[in-house]
Structure 1
Amino acid sequence: MSSTPASVRPAATVNTDIRALWAQAGGRLSAVEAERYQRLLLEWAAAMREERAEAA
């Protein structure tokens, strides 16, 4: 069984959130922002896997 959620946001959407987080932080993440960044990276990776699987 897959550990990814049934409904995954598109990678481009998550990437936009990542870019916005960095822009808002001014290039330096606080501890809370770093945790959010890590969650977003995991979400982005899951979205990329799903998109690749759909394309195959």
Structure 2
Amino acid sequence: MSPDLVTAPPAARSVAELNAAIRALWSHPAVPLTAEQREEYWRLCAELRQVERGDVTVAA
């Protein structure tokens, strides 16, 4: 396979980065999330669980 076709997987984010992204979704605790924001929230939570379980290697 050509080296040009080989791409590295995206680097995993740290727990701190994921927590910051989750917190950033809310402009205010009383403001509900939009449908798109809820989808992003659940995706971030799933990614966070993977990192916490050690399913992924966090980039240095």
TM-score by length of 2: 0.62
Q: Where in structure 2 are there 5+ consecutive unaligned residues?
A: 1-8, 56-60
Instruction: Give the % identical residues.
Output: 36
Name which of 17, 21, 33 aligns with 2:21: 17
Letter in 2 for 1:37: Y
Larger radius of gyration: 2
Query: Number of residue pairs matched?
Result: 47
Name which of 33, 46, 53 aligns with 2:37: 33
Q: Where in structure 1 are there 5+ consecutive unaligned residues?
A: 52-56
RMSD over aligned CA atoms reads: 2.5
Q: Which moved more, 1:31-40 or 1:16-25?
A: 16-25
Deviation at 1:26, TM superposition (A): 5.6
TM-score by length of 1: 0.65
- Structure having the higher helix fraction is 1
